[in-house]
């Protein structure tokens, strides 16, 4: 059997995964990674399918809890490849996030990634997840980046906002972007004028 036949055969087994784990902070019930593994191990084994994870990218952040403790936060982008008996395969790439005060943030991220890869490949309803349509998050805005500074490529002076009175007519970023478009380098207003004259003289 190839992987497509194997996966549809597994889906045809009519499994149920009990949802008896309870989130200690928020109280919702969920299916633990062990429940998922316990359900799937015999089915994967029966249909001669196995799964190989490959971490594609990871980020790690150290954070602090409200109480001042250390918290490691890992995000792993992991590719899970399901192989069938004949060597054919399909892959699912998922993002797993894990937090831990010790050394288990990445383990947790992997476990979560595996769980959701199984959920999505085998179409297991994820009832424990709040449907994104069920709630409306508070409006939020992207984090503002610190304003960048722009330096004129010709005179070396910083490019500043073009003001008229106390209003910004053109931001330094716009001036830099416009000169980049027109002349292929970031220029201040004065050097942009010179560049424009130089171009005009050529024609
Ligand atoms: Zn300049």
Average pLDDT by consecutive 10-residue portion of the chain (203 residues)? 94 78 74 83 94 93 79 92 96 92 88 89 68 63 68 92 88 91 92 92 80
Whether pTM > 0.85 for this model: the answer is: no
CA–CA separation, 79 and 117 (whole Å): 9
User: 147 CA distance to ligand 1 centroid (A)?
Assistant: 19
Confidence at residue 25, expressed as pLDDT on a 0 to 100 scale? 72
Confidence at residue 129, expressed as pLDDT on a 0 to 100 scale? 54
Confidence at residue 141, expressed as pLDDT on a 0 to 100 scale? 66
Confidence at residue 102, expressed as pLDDT on a 0 to 100 scale? 83
Return the number of other C-beta atoms located less than 10 Å from residue 16's C-beta: 7
Confidence at residue 65, expressed as pLDDT on a 0 to 100 scale? 74
Confidence at residue 203, expressed as pLDDT on a 0 to 100 scale? 73
Confidence at residue 136, expressed as pLDDT on a 0 to 100 scale? 64
Per-domain boundaries in the chain: 3-126, 162-202
User: 148 CA distance to ligand 1 centroid (A)?
Assistant: 17
Exposure b/e, 100-115, CB count within 10 A at least 16 = b = beeeebbebbbbbbbb
Length of the chain: 203
CA–CA separation, 58 and 83 (whole Å): 24
CATH number for the domain running over 3-126: 3.30.390.80
Confidence at residue 131, expressed as pLDDT on a 0 to 100 scale? 56
User: 11 CA distance to ligand 1 centroid (A)?
Assistant: 66
Confidence at residue 56, expressed as pLDDT on a 0 to 100 scale? 96
Identify residues whose C-beta is under 5 A from ligand 1, the ion: 152, 154-155, 188, 191
């Amino acid at each position: 059997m190839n992987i497509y036949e194997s996966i549809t055969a597994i889906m045809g087994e009519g499994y149920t995964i009990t949802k008896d784990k309870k989130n200690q902070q928020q109280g919702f019930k969920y299916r633990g990674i062990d429940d998922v593994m316990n359900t799937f191990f015999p089915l994967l084994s029966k249909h001669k399918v196995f799964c190989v994870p490959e971490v594609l990218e990871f980020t790690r952040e150290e954070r602090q809890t409200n109480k001042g403790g250390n918290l490691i936060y890992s995000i792993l982008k992991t590719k899970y490849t399901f192989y069938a008996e004949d060597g054919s395969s399909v892959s699912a790439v998922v993002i797993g996030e894990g937090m831990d005060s010790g050394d288990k943030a990445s383990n947790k991220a992997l476990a979560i990634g595996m769980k959701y890869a199984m959920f999505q490949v085998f179409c297991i309803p994820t009832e424990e997840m709040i449907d994104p349509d069920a709630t409306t998050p508070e409006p939020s805005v992207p984090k503002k980046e610190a304003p960048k500074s722009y330096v004129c490529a010709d005179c070396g002076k910083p490019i500043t906002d073009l003001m008229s009175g106390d209003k910004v007519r053109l931001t330094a970023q716009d001036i830099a972007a416009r000169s980049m478009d027109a002349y292929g380098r970031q220029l201040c207003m004065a050097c942009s004028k010179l560049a424009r004259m130089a171009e005009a003289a050529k024609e």
